[in-house]
Amino acid sequence: MATASPPLTSSLKFTSTSFRTRTSLPTCSFSPKLLRPLPSFSAKASRKQVEIVFDPDERLNKIGDDVDKEAPLSRLKLFSPCKINVFLRITGKREDGFHDLASLFHVISLGDTIKFSLSPSKSKDRLSTNVSGVPVDARNLIIKALNLYRKKTGSNKFFWIHLDKQVPTGAGLGGGSSNAATALWAANQLNGGLVSEKELQDWSSEIGSDIPFFFSHGAAYCTGRGEIVQDLPSPFPFDLPMVLIKPREACSTAEVYKRLRLDQTSNVDPLTLLENVTNNGVSQSICVNDLELPAFQVLPSLKRLKQRVIASGRGEYDAVFMSGSGSTIVGIGSPDPPQFIYDDEEYKKVFLSEANFMTREANEWYKEPASATATTSSSESRLEIPNEM
């Protein structure tokens, strides 16, 4: 005996899971005429449910991504690497009070990260940072660089900037100068590339002697006050490791130069040093720094630190020297500090970082390494700074 089909049913259910859509659902109504009978396989009919989720956040994110693709560039995240001076000769004093130098500068993989966004303000930049004690007003070289860019180009754009600081201050590593160069490059990008990199490089010497170097490709022979930059191919393999050791005490550049006596500097020709390092790589005899002696007078413990690193390294380092005007001691050839750095109470709070030499491609800024390592000697584990975007 045939059984009658069950009454027609249909269920339309909206829940918070299952099917996702990136577009809004059109408003619609359902008419019984449009519903087809469900097939009957037995006395018990199947019932079909449709589960739909509308995720507004996901849709808004997609709209934002689409807008970013169509709109002019409005934000940037850039790596701001520091440098070391492989050798540094002071060759004379100028009439303007500055000193002439001749130095092989090279960018290394330790650096800060800076985020730039266009600001709705038409009168002021806003700078924030993760480190206390770093000025966030017009004293900061980032703000000086942005003011310089507007002065030179007539741009009326202002910025929100966040500086994630990893490079210590007062270290002889040019962290502030790198920040300024990075800000100039970012401002030019966010203004549609109004000027050339050469113009940015030339302007930058107005606010700092080391800033023009960072517009090289990462290795350069610098003369004058440091603003005359001769771009060079890197003479070093990029997998050559180094360790940076900076005591808690900083060296005042002004105080170091105040104690400098030209009759106590090296007499080796800087071009000879450049030729030797190009042909033979790094060695202790090449890594001359005429500012070491006055810096050691300002900070006697720095001389002792260098001597102990050399003695404890037992040949592990190809060269040990001070960078810039101090107070960072660089050991090239190994990423590891001597054990006494961890054991002695005197060095409990020194800054440590491993690094490598690096350069940049033409028309691009420096790329952040996959990871960087910085710590203090009292830390049980190293602070890993991932490459995030």
Active site residues: 83, 210
Close Cβ partners of 120 (under 8 Å, ≥ 6 residues apart): none
Rounded to the nearest 5 percent, the helix, strand and coil shares of the chain are 30, 30, 45
Cα 75–chain centre separation: 16
Residue 356 backbone phi and psi in degrees, to 5: -140, 160
Close Cβ partners of 384 (under 8 Å, ≥ 6 residues apart): 371, 373
How many C-beta atoms lie closer than 10 Å to residue 139's C-beta?
Answer: 9
Structure-block tokens of residue 90: 């002071």
Close Cβ partners of 112 (under 8 Å, ≥ 6 residues apart): 79, 80, 163, 164, 165, 166, 167, 175, 178, 179
CA dist., res. 39 & res. 29, Å (int): 24
CA dist., res. 219 & res. 234, Å (int): 6
CA dist., res. 133 & res. 113, Å (int): 17
Burial (CB count <10 Å: 0-12, 13-18, 19+), residue 282: buried
CA dist., res. 389 & res. 379, Å (int): 27
